[in-house]
Amino acid sequence: KAEPEPAESEAQPQTEPQHTADLEARPKPQPKPESQPESQPQAEPQSVADLELSDGFPKRNVRIAFVGDSLTRYTYLTLVYYLHFNAWPQHNDRFVTIGPRSSRNLWHGLFNYTSTLMQPYETCDCYRNWQKVFRQRRHVENRYYIDDARNISIIYIGKFGNRSVHGHYDPIEIQQKPMPINFVSRRFKWDYPEWPQFIRNYIRPFNLDYFIFNQGQWPHHDLHDVNVVEGIRSALKEINVTSIYRTTTARLDGQEYGGHDAHICSVMDQCLNVSWTEELPKDNRTFIDFVHLHANANNRMTRQLLELLSEIRMHPKKEEGIR
């Protein structure tokens, strides 16, 4: 979603829009059972291949916040799909092929479909106000995948450029599941215009281990400001959460939005360097549209993240440079 967005007024209460779930689009896959360990404990996973077969990390004890735009959403969806089904999404999976300019019914179907697919673990606080102009202030997409039995808490909080983060449910309500999917744009229960306030007040209660963020390719965002970046770093240190900045992915048209990446990587605990996206084929086999990637690239990015998390577990002290 790289298009600029005009100023607007506060969201007003609206009636619930009509939507279609279209859940019968393809057969629902069933979660695969995790393989049982041999008589001897398995070693800590060190590679993508090991991670895919291991009974240990990251199939359990995963506590992550993803914060960012739609590109970050797809990393969240890919990871929870992998944890839920013990498999990677395929190229034609519906939830990784929808673009930002799709119709209202497609978006409502996406919210229903993806959350139903991840039951009983995902809560989707999701609403898209579909008008001629996409109004960020009325839009909300916050997702919470919580599996207490495996100690998994993975959340995605949608943040679009320099707009505030907001939503309808506080952390206590989410952890008291189940919660209904929300399509009604009411006044939000929480709304934080500043990163440090959001981290200290909203992220802290989830007791997470990692905070992964990137604001994507919105032309107006606040990560160019070194004071904002320092505020994020300090707040995460204060709540003892490892900060991971993901560099900005390449676009189909070659425009660059990642001039701030090197500085942020230099001050955060870890950096997930996805500059390899610049070398991807510039065609519709890789890109859904000008900015969004198909499953093959999202899977690769998520595997890279899992390797980084494995390295952090084995070697907690940060090494210098971009990863």
DSSP 293: B
Dist CA 145 CA 238 (whole Å): 24
Nearest to 294 by CA among 31, 14, 95, 8: 95
The CATH number for 62-314, chosen from 1.10.3470, 1.10.10, 3.40.50, 3.30.70, is 3.40.50
Dist CA 163 CA 296 (whole Å): 30
pLDDT (tens digit per residue) in 19-62 = 333 333 334 445 544 444 333 333 333 334 344 434 344 578 89
Write the CA distances from 26 to 72, 95, 110, 304, integer angstroms.
25, 11, 13, 28
Q: How confident is the model at residue 133 (pLDDT cuts 50, 70, 90)?
A: low
- The pair of structure tokens assigned to 76 is 């969240």
pLDDT (tens digit per residue) in 168-181 = 888 888 866 555 66
Dist CA 119 CA 75 (whole Å): 18
State the pLDDT at residue 188: 86
Dist CA 219 CA 256 (whole Å): 10
Dist CA 130 CA 134 (whole Å): 6
DSSP 256: -
pLDDT (tens digit per residue) in 82-93 = 999 988 888 766
State the pLDDT at residue 39: 34
State the pLDDT at residue 158: 93
pTM, 2 dp: 0.78
State the pLDDT at residue 154: 97
Q: Cβ distance 156 to 125 under 8 Å?
A: no
Dist CA 89 CA 91 (whole Å): 7
CA 188 to chain centre: 20
**Domain residue spans in the chain?**
62-314
Q: Where are the beta strands (DSSP E) in 26-81?
A: 62-68
Q: How many residues does the chain have?
A: 323
Dist CA 292 CA 45 (whole Å): 30
Q: Cβ distance 78 to 96 under 8 Å?
A: yes
What percent of the chain has a predicted confidence (pLDDT) above 70?
A: 67
Interhelix angle 104-117/70-85, nearest 10 degrees: 30
Question: Which residues make Cβ contacts (< 8 Å) with residue 82, sequence separation at least 6?
Answer: 88, 89, 302
Task: Supply φ then ψ for residue 145, to 5 degrees.
Answer: -105, 110
State the pLDDT at residue 99: 53
Q: Cβ distance 192 to 164 under 8 Å?
A: yes
Dist CA 145 CA 120 (whole Å): 9
pLDDT (tens digit per residue) in 195-206 = 999 999 999 999
Tell me the HSE value of 203 on the side-chain side, using a 13 A CA sphere.
Answer: 34
Which helix (H) or strand (E) segment holds residue 144: the answer is strand 140-147
